[in-house]
Amino acid sequence: MSAATVTSPRVDPPVTRTALPPRPSRLWPTLWALVVGAVVLAAAAGLSITWDELPALPGKVAGYLRLMFADPSWDKLPRALLETWRSISMAWTGAILCVVASLPLGLLAARGVGPAWLRLGLRACFAVLRAVPEVVLALVLLTVTGLTPLTGALALGIAGIGTQARWVYEAVESVQEGASQAVRAAGGTAAHVTRWAIWPAISPTVLSFALYRFEINIRTSAVLGLVGAGGIGSMLSNYTNFRQWDTVGMLLIVVVAATMLMDTVSGAIRRRIMEGARVRDVGRGA
């Protein structure tokens, strides 16, 4: 006969209660919200806005849309296509100027490539260029180059250097150091490191940014035409001043169609650069 086993009673570990963290204070977010609200109200109060006309605004907009798009005039379509091509050429020329200038400047402004004094000076210049709108640059260049598409191309190229160069040096600084260290260990100079380690790593990103800058320039070129830089914007400004709304509607249709077409083509090229060619899965027959 076996002896009965005696089991000891189970003892649970003591439960330790942790104190809840204090509730975060909502004082500073509330104060910031009040400050932002006060700034918005002050800005709205300083504008000469007749609030009584706001209810009639949708009806007026609908009336102008009806004048422009109910029966657009297509008589000036050949000239509109020619001016659209000039705007696209102006945008493309500005994008090329921007890329050619911003690529070496952006490389020199990157950490580990250029000296500190040059890097800081270039970044300060880029910040100044980003702060100046393209329209302001076009107005300044009008006194030198006159009312020509060259004015718009130069304004787009100069204004884009600040943004494009920043994309370049940020892309350089995001590259891993392994390839650069390997080139330096093999006795390579700074030029060799840039050519064989940095450029192969950043070239897809830089080319994609260049095409994206071209898309931005297409939209901006129409605005520059309003200040006399040529292209479809000048034609649109002239017919708007003469209140020929049927022609204005046709011009807007051309601008929207051309912009969407160029965005589609540029987007497809950018995807091909970043993702590469798609590999088709071809199944084998039995």
| pLDDT of res. 282 | 53
| pLDDT of res. 121 | 92
**Residue 9 located in a structural domain:** no
| pLDDT of res. 9 | 63
**Residue 113 located in a structural domain:** yes
* Residue 140, domain CATH: 1.10.3720.10
**Residue 39 located in a structural domain:** no
Cα angle value 93/102/219 (rounded, 5°) = 45
Structure tokens at 267: 């987007």
Tell me which long-range contacts 19-28 makes (C-beta under 8 A, separation of at least 24): none
Cα angle value 8/11/16 (rounded, 5°) = 170
- The type of residue at 64 is Y
Q: How many domains does the chain have?
A: 1
**Residue 8 located in a structural domain:** no
**Residue showing tokens 């590469």:** 276
**Residue 152 located in a structural domain:** yes
**Residue 95 located in a structural domain:** yes
How far is it, in rounded angstroms, from Cα 139 to Cα 155?
Answer: 9
74: domain range? 68-275
How far is it, in rounded angstroms, from Cα 246 to Cα 74?
Answer: 9
- 150 closest CA partner among 81, 214, 94: 94
**Residue 97 located in a structural domain:** yes
**Residue 13 located in a structural domain:** no
Inter-residue contact 245 to 67 (CB < 8 Å): yes
How far is it, in rounded angstroms, from Cα 135 to Cα 226?
Answer: 9
Structure tokens at 213: 């800058």
Q: What is the pLDDT along the chain (286 residues), one digit of tens a residue?
A: 455 555 666 666 666 666 677 777 788 888 999 999 998 888 877 777 777 777 888 888 888 888 888 888 888 889 989 988 988 888 899 989 998 999 889 888 888 777 888 889 999 999 999 888 888 888 888 888 877 788 888 888 998 898 899 988 888 888 767 767 777 777 777 777 777 777 777 888 888 888 888 888 888 888 887 777 778 888 888 888 888 888 888 999 998 998 888 888 888 888 887 776 665 555 554 4
DSSP, residue by residue, 43-62: HHHTS---GGGGGGHHHHHH
How far is it, in rounded angstroms, from Cα 170 to Cα 21?
Answer: 39
Q: How many CB atoms lie under 10 A from the CB of residue 271?
A: 12
Inter-residue contact 157 to 98 (CB < 8 Å): yes
